[in-house]
């Protein structure tokens, strides 16, 4: 699903760019209303998604109330953060372009923005004892549902198109291309289904059997002959990491040597070295790799990126091992994404 910061930003932008001026709710200094504690008889949760915010002024309280509604849609998302150091850059074909998967994500964001345009601040209250401002924001579930269903129908039409092309194709590359596009569409639909569940709706029927489509797409990608060849310090770890990562993503890859042929060839040049971390109690190691992805049929590089990882340990050898392990994981994730984008944008 769209990450929390993006969804909150969409909601706040929608508040500023609505279709017309909305009369603000009046500020009341009467006794504490029930909605401050989350219960609003005027806006029952069976019909509305509601959010309560507080702040030092009306604007802050209103923004936080809108943000609470955005967080309702993110309640099932777990965000894991790690403290490490990485450097990644990616170039495809010598230029930057929008990928098919990014366009699908943009379509989903557009649906979310349309849905969130219905958010209104419907009540405000100021606590005369503390001077604290409170705001109640609401979103009509029926109106939001209509926006989600409209975009879901559009994605269903796209999914049917790419599933038909996948079934009709016999060439390995053509099947992989259709599979990548189909996978991106199915992922976008799943995100909209999650929003629909938050709004109290069930699963929408689709003309495409999602389970069968995912299985067919996975089989098409697994049929590719993918070769991974790494050189330099830590080459074994990089090769193993990329091969394992691709396998987890449904791509069958094998370790090879520079110059080996395949449908897709992944060349990596790795290195590692000790670095000064500023604390003598710890030994630091930095590992880096330059990775190039090549279309084996056309013998043309379609993506190139650099990635690095820095780790510490009381033992220098362990620090190096950790850095190479982190490097291999990041490289495999970026390679998987680059291959999916390559076929999705053919």
Q: Position of tokens 């930057």? A: 96
Mean pLDDT of 99-114: 60
* CA–CA–CA angle 81, 107, 331 (5° rounding): 40
Q: What is the pLDDT of residue 265?
A: 94
pLDDT over 80 at 110, yes or no: no
Helix (H) or strand (E) holding 134: strand 133-140
Mean pLDDT of the chain: 81
Say if CB 151 and CB 63 are below 8 A apart. Answer: no
Mean pLDDT of 213-234: 90
**What residue spans define the domains of the chain?**
4-85+102-142, 148-220, 224-344
Q: Is 299 exposed, middle or buried (CB count within 10 Å of its CB: 0-12, 13-18, 19+)?
A: exposed
Q: What is the pLDDT of residue 81?
A: 27
- Residue 198's pLDDT band (cuts 50, 70, 90): confident
Task: Catalogue the E-assigned strands of 38-119.
Answer: 48-55, 89-91
d(CA 205, CA 30): 48
Mean pLDDT of 114-121: 78
Predicted TM-score of the model (pTM): 0.61
Q: Dihedrals φ, ψ of 308, to 5°?
A: -145, 165
Q: What is the pLDDT of residue 99?
A: 54
The CATH code belonging to domain 4-85+102-142 is 3.10.28.20
DSSP-derived pairing of the beta strands 27-28 and 253-255: unpaired
**Selection from 148, 143, 193 nearest residue 1 by Cα:** 193
Which range among 106-120, 138-152, 303-317 has the greatest average pLDDT? 303-317
Between 58 and 105, the higher pLDDT residue: 58
pLDDT over 90 at 7, yes or no: no
pLDDT digits (tens, 9 = 90+) for 42-52: 999 889 989 99
- Class for the domain spanning 224-344: alpha beta
The percent of residues in the chain predicted with pLDDT above 70, rounded, is: 79
What is each CA distance from 26 to 64, 125, 133, in whole angstroms? 17, 8, 12
Q: What is the pLDDT of residue 205?
A: 84
List the single range of 57-61, 96-100, 174-178, 306-310 with lowest mean pLDDT: 96-100
Between 233 and 17, the higher pLDDT residue: 233
- Residue 214's pLDDT band (cuts 50, 70, 90): confident
Q: Which residues contact 25 (CB under 8 A, 6 or more apart)?
A: 121, 122, 123, 124, 135, 136
- Residue 209's pLDDT band (cuts 50, 70, 90): confident
pLDDT digits (tens, 9 = 90+) for 238-288: 999 899 888 877 788 999 998 899 999 999 999 999 999 888 889 999 999
Mean pLDDT of 308-335: 93
Say if CB 8 and CB 75 are below 8 A apart. Answer: no
């Amino acid at each position: 699903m769209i990450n929390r910061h993006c969804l909150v930003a969409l909601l706040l932008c929608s508040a500023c760019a609505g279709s017309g001026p909305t009369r603000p709710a009046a500020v009341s200094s009467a006794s504490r209303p029930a909605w401050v504690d989350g219960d609003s008889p005027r806006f029952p949760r069976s019909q509305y998604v509601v959010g309560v915010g507080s702040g030092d002024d009306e604007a802050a309280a209103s923004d936080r109330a809108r943000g609470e509604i955005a967080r309702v849609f993110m309640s099932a998302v777990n965000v894991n953060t790690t403290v490490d150091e990485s450097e990644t850059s990616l170039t495809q074909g010598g230029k930057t372009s929008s990928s098919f998967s990014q366009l699908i994500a943009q379509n989903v964001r557009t649906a979310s923005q349309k849905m969130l345009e219905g958010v209104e601040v419907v009540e405000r209250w100021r606590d005369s004892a503390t001077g604290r401002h409170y705001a109640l924001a609401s979103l009509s579930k029926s109106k939001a549902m209509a926006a989600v269903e409209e975009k879901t129908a559009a994605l269903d039409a796209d999914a049917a198109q790419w599933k038909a092309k996948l079934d009709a194709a016999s060439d390995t590359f053509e099947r992989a291309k259709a599979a990548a596009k189909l996978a991106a569409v199915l992922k976008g639909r799943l995100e909209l289904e999650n929003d629909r569940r938050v709004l109290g709706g069930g699963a929408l029927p689709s003309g495409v059997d999602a389970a069968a489509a995912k299985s067919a797409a996975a089989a098409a990608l697994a049929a590719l002959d993918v070769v991974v060849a790494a050189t330099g310090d830590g080459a074994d770890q990089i090769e193993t990491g990329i091969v394992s990562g691709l396998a987890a993503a449904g791509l069958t890859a094998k370790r090879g040597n520079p110059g080996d042929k395949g449908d897709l060839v992944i060349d990596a040049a790795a290195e590692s070295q000790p670095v000064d971390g500023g604390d003598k109690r710890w030994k630091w190691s930095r590992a880096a790799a330059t990775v190039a992805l090549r279309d084996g049929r056309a013998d043309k590089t379609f993506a190139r990126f650099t990635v690095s990882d820095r780790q510490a340990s009381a033992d220098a050898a362990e620090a190096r091992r950790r850095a190479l392990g982190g490097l291999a994981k990041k490289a495999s994730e970026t390679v998987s994404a680059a291959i999916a984008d390559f076929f999705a944008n053919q």
